[in-house]
Each structure stands twice: as C-alpha cells, then as structure tokens.
Amino acid sequence: MNVLHIDWTACAGHGQCAELLPELIGRDDLGYPLARDGGPTRDLAVPAGLTPHAQRAVTGCPRLALRLVEGRPTDGSAAGQGRR
C-alpha cells in the first residue's frame, strides 16, 4: 500500500491537502492536517482507489511537505530514535 508522508518540519497548515484529499485528511484548530481515522499523521495509509487524489495533494501542497511513498510505512520509530 502507498503511504502519504507528511514532512512536519515543512508543513505550515495551509490546508490544501485537506481540500484535495478530504477522504483521509481533516484539519485541527490551527489548520494543520489531521488524520480522519484519528491516528498519527506522520504516514497515512492510502487505499489504492485514492492514490490519484493523494498525488494531487502532493503536487498541490504549497510547502512541498507531502510525499507519496510506495510500499511501506516510514515512521522513523522503525529503526530507533535514540535521543538521550
């Protein structure tokens, strides 16, 4: 399954993605993208039927904060995140 990755360091809450992909994305109080399913928003699973919409959200983001990644979840926790 494809995954829509949000670069939170780039996102400024313009909300284009919520308009172009309302099936998966809503907005929070401040306009930042919010997963419709209530889950975390680093990587959103994109059902095959919605891939074209997700692609439009990627190209429509004024901050270039979205990326469609094929085939795997990319949550950074997958390989550790030692911090201390």
The residues of the shown chain that bind another protein, judged by CB under 8 A, are: 5, 7-13, 28-30, 32, 34, 38-42, 67, 69, 74, 76-84
> Distance between CA 67 and CA 36 in Å, rounded?
18
Q: How far is the CB of 43 from another protein (least distance, A)?
A: 9
Percentages (nearest 5) of helix, strand, coil residues in the chain? 25, 25, 50
Q: How far is the CB of 54 from another protein (least distance, A)?
A: 15
Q: Rank residues 49 and 80 by Cβ distance to another protein and give the closer one.
A: 80
> Distance between CA 41 and CA 30 in Å, rounded?
15
